[in-house]
Amino acid sequence: MYNPKSLKAEEFIDHEEVLASIEYGEKYKNNVEVIDEIIEKAKLRKGLNHREASVLLACEIPEKINEVYELAEQIKKDFYGNRIVLFAPLYLSNYCVNGCVYCPYHRQNKHITRKKLSQEDIAREVIALQDMGHKRIAIESGEDPVMNPIEYILESIKTIYSIKHKNGSIRRVNVNIAATTVENYRKLKEAGIGTYVLFQETYNKESYEKLHPTGPKHDYAYHTEAMDRAMQGGIDDVGLGVLFGLESYKYEFAALLMHAEHLEAVYGVGPHTISVPRIKPADDIDPNAFDNAISDDIFEKICACIRVAVPYTGMIISTRESKAVREKVLRLGVSQISGGSRTSVGGYCEPEPEDENSAQFEVSDRRTLDEVVRWLMENGYIPSFCTACYREGRTGDRFMRLCKNGQIQNCCHPNALMTLQEYLEDYASPETKEIGETLINREINNIPKEKVRRIVKENLVNIKNGQRDFRL
Ligand code: SAM
Cβ neighbours for 258, distance < 8 A, ≥ 6 positions apart: 4, 12, 13, 14, 17, 18, 21, 50, 203
Longest CA–CA separation in the chain, Å: 62
Tell me which of 87, 94, 117, 199 to substitute to probe ligand 1's pocket, judged by most ligand atoms within 8 Å of the beta carbon. 199
Dist CA 379 CA 182 (whole Å): 42
Report H helices in 233-352. 249-267, 296-309, 323-332
Within 13 Å of residue 104, how many CA atoms lie on the same side as its CB?
24
Query: Residue of the nearest CA to atom 21 in ligand 1?
Result: 103
Dist CA 391 CA 204 (whole Å): 36
Query: What is the 467 CA–ligand 1 centroid distance (Å)?
Result: 38
pLDDT at 397: 86
Query: What is the 16 CA–ligand 1 centroid distance (Å)?
Result: 27
Within 13 Å of residue 405, how many CA atoms lie on the same side as its CB?
10
Query: What is the 217 CA–ligand 1 centroid distance (Å)?
Result: 12
Query: What is the 462 CA–ligand 1 centroid distance (Å)?
Result: 41
Letter for the amino acid at 356?
Answer: E
Dist CA 59 CA 53 (whole Å): 10
Report residues whose beta carbon is within 6 angstroms of any ligand 1 atom.
102-103, 140, 142-143, 176-178, 198-199, 201, 217, 243, 277, 279-280, 282, 285, 320, 360-361
Indicate the burial class of 240 (C-beta count within 10 angstroms; 0-12, 13-18, 19 or more).
buried
User: Percentage helix, strand, coil, to 5, in the chain?
Assistant: 50, 10, 40
Give the nearest ligand 1 atom to 282 CA.
23
DSSP state of 278: B
pLDDT in tens, 11-20: 999 999 999 9
Query: What is the 374 CA–ligand 1 centroid distance (Å)?
Result: 29
Provide CATH code, domain 77-390: 3.20.20.70
Tell me which of 105, 243, 278 to substitute to probe ligand 1's pocket, judged by most ligand atoms within 8 Å of the beta carbon. 243
- Beta strand pairing call for 336-338 and 273-275: unpaired
Dist CA 58 CA 29 (whole Å): 5
Q: What percent of the chain has pLDDT over 70?
A: 100
Comparing C-alpha atoms, which of 331, 332, 308, 329 is closest to residue 318?
A: 329
pLDDT in tens, 269-300: 999 999 999 999 999 888 889 989 999 999 99
Indicate the pLDDT class of residue 361, thresholds 50, 70 and 90. confident
Element (H, E) at 201: none
Dist CA 244 CA 294 (whole Å): 7
Reported in sequence order, the residue ranges of 108-219 that DSSP labels E, i.e. its strands, are 136-141, 172-176, 196-197
Indicate the pLDDT class of residue 101, thresholds 50, 70 and 90. very high
Query: What is the 59 CA–ligand 1 centroid distance (Å)?
Result: 30
Q: What integer is the mean pLDDT of 156-170?
A: 98
pLDDT at residue 50 is higher than 90: yes
pLDDT in tens, 201-243: 999 999 999 999 999 999 999 999 999 999 999 999 999 999 9
Tell me which of 103, 357, 363 to substitute to probe ligand 1's pocket, judged by most ligand atoms within 8 Å of the beta carbon. 103
Q: What integer is the mean pLDDT of 60-68?
A: 98
Phi, psi angle pair for 163, to nearest 5°? -80, 120
Query: What is the 394 CA–ligand 1 centroid distance (Å)?
Result: 28
Q: What percent of the chain has pLDDT over 90?
A: 90
pLDDT in tens, 185-197: 999 999 999 999 9
Report H helices in 348-429. 369-378, 388-391, 396-404, 408-426
Letter for the amino acid at 276?
Answer: V
Query: Do 342 and 90 meet the contact criterion of CB atoms below 8 Å apart?
Result: no
Query: Residue of the nearest CA to atom 19 in ligand 1?
Result: 103
Tell me which of 252, 360, 364 to substitute to probe ligand 1's pocket, judged by most ligand atoms within 8 Å of the beta carbon. 360
CA angle centred on 364, ends 363 and 367, rounded to 5°: 90
